[in-house]
Each structure stands twice: as C-alpha cells, then as structure tokens.
Amino acid sequence: MEAWAFETFKNVVDDSNNKWKLVNVEALERLHRADLLLQFKRKRKIETSVTAEVDVKATAEDLESSGKSPNITSFARIRTAYIEDPDYLFVILSLKHKVYLTKNNHTGLVDSIMEVVKYNAYDIKYLSDTDISYNPALGTGQIQIRDIHYVSLVDRTAWKFCKLLDKKFLASGKRNFSSWLKLAKQNGWVK
C-alpha cells in the first residue's frame, strides 16, 4: 500500500497544475518514523515549502478487527520530532481496502486485485486524548490509535501534544519519571 500511495502522490507531483501545490514526494527508509515525505509549495513573498511526513496504514474492509490499535510510531521518535520542530507535520493516511481473488485456470495460480474503498488522513497532533494510546511493549513504547477508522479531532499545540504523550507514557504502569528523564536526557528534551 505504501508503494501505491507513493505512486499516487508522484502522479500528483508530475501534474504541473495540481491544486495542492505538491512539489515533491519521497519514500523514506525502512524503520523511519513515517513512510513518505511530502513537500508543498507555499505561495508567499518569499517562496518556501511545507513538509509533512506520512505514515501509511492499510486495513482490510472485510476484517472486523482491522484498524484496531495499529502501531503508529515510537514514543521517543515522535516526541523528539515535535521538540526539534513544533511545526512538524505527521500525517496518518488510513487506507481501507478490499481484495478480490480469482483462480487463473491457465496458470493454476490465484490472481488478486486490491481496491482502496475508503481513506482518511489525520495529523497525529490533533487526535483526541481517547484515540491515542501508549503500548510500552516495544523499545521506548509505541503510540497507537484505538480505532484508526473512528477518531475525533481536537485543536492542540505541539507543547500540549508532548504533554499528552508524556501523560500516556507515565500512566502505562511500566514507566516512571526516572525512565522518562533518562529518555529526555538521551533525546535532548531537557537542557
């Protein structure tokens, strides 16, 4: 799905009349906090660009539990990103798909077609408190979304988002202030 999303955004970049002013798309390396990097041209006296990182999440239309609590990114990585740049944009692109299968009588193999049937895009910073959860199981912990298909949005600053992440981290029962402070020193959150 990431490759399909990249190709779709690349087609927009190649259209010189694209209404979104998308000027660049890049696939990010494996284990990066996101899958794609998008750059948009901003029209001002001094032309600059706006950059967004996009995490592509694919879920199946016909699986009831698909989209429940997917891992989005590491707690330390996302918190560090907002400390380094309070205007950082981390967009979750949720693609819901259906797969159609047919047996190819000539080859004996099964041919499949995947169709994107629904999509949503969210800036992680604006997801409601109840939609974001913290799973301490991996590394510094994973930020998850309770149900990627049904979220509520709230207006919040980068600082309020970092405070929310910290609250989730500390409330996990497996982390405490000492473990938070250790991460804070390692990642430059405190001076």
pLDDT in tens for each of the 191 residues of the chain?
A: 888 899 999 999 999 888 888 999 999 998 788 999 999 988 776 767 889 999 999 888 776 766 677 788 999 999 999 999 999 999 999 988 888 888 888 888 988 888 888 889 999 999 999 999 999 988 889 999 998 888 999 999 999 999 999 999 999 888 899 999 999 999 999 87
Answer yes or no: are the C-beta atoms of 5 and 119 closer than 8 Å.
no
Q: Where are the domains of the chain?
A: 2-187
Residue 16's CB is within 10 A of a number of other CB atoms, namely 6
The neighbouring-strand residues paired with 47 are none
Show the tokens assigned to 67: 């989209």
pTM for the model stands at 0.84
Residue in the structure block whose two tokens are 């750059």: 39
List of residues 6+ apart from 112 with CB closer than 8 A: 99, 100, 101, 102
- 48-60 vs 90-103, strand pairing mode: parallel
Provide the residue type at 9 as one letter.
Answer: F
Residue 89 pairs in a beta bridge with: none
List for the chain the helix, strand, coil content (%; round to 5). 25, 35, 35
- Sheet arrangement for strand 22-27: 22-27, 36-42, 48-60, 90-103, 110-123
For strand 71-74 and strand 90-103, is the pairing parallel, antiparallel, or unpaired?
Answer: unpaired
Handedness of CA 141, 127, 148, 130 (dihedral sign): positive
